[in-house]
């Protein structure tokens, strides 16, 4: 199998096994490292774009009373907006959550890691609501005012149990 030179990023060709001693070469090395970091950061956040589309699809699918076959509230455009705002606050280096419509009319995110770690996070009205079970016997849950800042408790849970790194 061959690789065309146009398929390989220029900075990876330039950075391959090249170490310089001059200040200019150190600057170039720092620049190439920065470009590489930015490219990895961009790639790691692309999953958010696909989830924004999924939020839109879920809100369109579940927009009528009883969408679940019972008496579920319809998802409103406001629930999609709030879910998107919450999505933007999530760190890029965590596992991709599932988008889940709630019978109360909201959209939540769920994470599952193995059979022992489950976590749900969503915006209900003006509140950020979360609940998790970890290791089978450890539970946590909470509700805080949604101020477009991810609480440290939630961030800690996501990094501890659902980190991709």
Start-end of H helices in 74-128: 77-89
Using CA atoms, how far residue 111 sits from 89, 94, 140, in Å, is 16, 10, 14
Domain definitions of the chain by residue range: 47-162
DSSP 8-state secondary structure symbol assigned to residue 5: G
Q: How confident is the model at residue 12 (pLDDT cuts 50, 70, 90)?
A: very low
Q: Is the pLDDT of residue 100 over 90?
A: yes
> In terms of Cα–Cα distance, which of 132, 137, 126, 135 is closest to 109?
132
Encode pLDDT of 53-93 as tens digits: 999 999 999 999 999 999 999 998 899 999 999 999 999 99
């Amino acid at each position: 199998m061959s690789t065309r030179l146009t398929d390989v990023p220029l900075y990876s060709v330039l950075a391959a096994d090249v170490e310089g001693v001059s200040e200019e070469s150190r600057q170039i090395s720092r620049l190439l490292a920065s470009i590489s970091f930015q490219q990895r950061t961009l790639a790691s956040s692309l999953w958010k774009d696909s989830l924004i589309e999924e939020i839109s699809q879920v809100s369109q699918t579940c927009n009528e009373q009883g969408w679940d076959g019972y008496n579920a509230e319809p998802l409103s455009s406001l629930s999609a907006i709030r879910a998107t705002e919450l999505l933007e606050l999530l760190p890029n280096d965590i596992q991709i959550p599932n988008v889940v419509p709630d019978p109360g009319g909201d959209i939540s995110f769920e994470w599952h890691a193995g059979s022992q770690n489950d976590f749900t996070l969503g915006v209900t009205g003006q509140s950020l609501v979360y609940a998790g079970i970890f290791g089978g016997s450890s539970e946590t849950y909470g509700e805080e005012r949604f101020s477009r800042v991810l609480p440290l408790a939630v961030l800690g849970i996501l990094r501890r149990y659902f980190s991709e790194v």
